Amino acid sequence: MTVDLDDALAAVEDGSPLVNAVTNNVTVNDVAQIILHWGGLPVMSDDEREVGDMVAAAQGCLLNMGTVSEEGEATMIEAGESANENGVPVVLDPVGVGATPTRDRVAERLASELDVAAIKGNYGEITALTGEDADVRGVESVGEYSDIATTAIACAQQYDTVVVASGETDVVATDQGAYEITAGHPDMGTVVGTGCMLGASVATFAGAIEDAEEATLAATVAFGLAGEAAASGAFGDVHGPGSYNVAFKDAVAGLRDAEYEPAAERVKQVLSADT
């Protein structure tokens, strides 16, 4: 699939999708800021009493398991069911799946009971979600995953969704094949919450672009390009993680007006389900 990033960015800016993010309390502000900087409208309703109504009025829904709780699980189920009933795309970020039995159970429930447009996780989380052995320490993937493209396809087939496996090289997979995204910068790993922000980006693009595969590819490429632009100094001097975090958010907000390589050059199909 080809990716026209100019069109994708314009669709988000013109559509201003309202995205309800049920997310963790560590990165809630970062998630809200990224949704806004892409051109979406963030709302962070996480109360089971109102979240169904809020999601029904939205164009995107993010479910992030970063700080999972009994109340949070109920809220995410309520939000996801409302999204499904109202045709709102759901993006699931199964943070920390593979680290504890509780997270394994909640992630499996959300992915199985809800109609999920996309799942975004790191290499370890996507591997664990398919039932394979994964090395997840806390919420970080610390193992070696040489067959991550194959695993991502298996995850997409298992849950009938689009999958983003984030890592040194991001992989986007459907039940038919996998793409490698050659965009991003190592400095992105120095900031807590970039994984959460990628999930928020996918939810924002999915709220403006009907095709989930197209939206997920565009969001992942755009996110990586913003990471590169921030590291280059194009959005301010970078002296360490703190200044990089600021430059990165500025890069997200300014990417529409920046110069970047055509997105198609950053997307390469590396595996087909038929081979």
What amino acid is encoded at 56 in this protein?
A
Sequence-ordered alpha helix ranges (H) in 95-240: 101-113, 123-129, 148-159, 194-206, 212-232
3-state helix/strand/coil string of 120-143: EEEHHHHHHHCCCCCCEECCEECC
Q: What count of other Cβ atoms lies within 10 Å of the Cβ of residue 71?
A: 11
Residue 120 counted as an annotated binding residue: yes
Minimal CA–CA distance to 139: which of 22, 33, 27? 27
Question: What does the alpha-carbon distance between residue 116 and residue 95 come to, in Å, rounded to a whole number?
Answer: 15
Q: Any residues with CB less than 8 A from the CB of 105 and at least 6 apart, and which?
A: none
Question: What does the alpha-carbon distance between residue 145 and residue 118 come to, in Å, rounded to a whole number?
Answer: 21
Residue 54 counted as an annotated binding residue: no
Element (H, E) at 118: strand 118-122
Across-strand partners of 162? 118
| Annotation: binding site for substrate | 44, 193
The annotated binding site for ATP is made up of 120, 166
Which positions make up the binding site? 44, 120, 166, 193
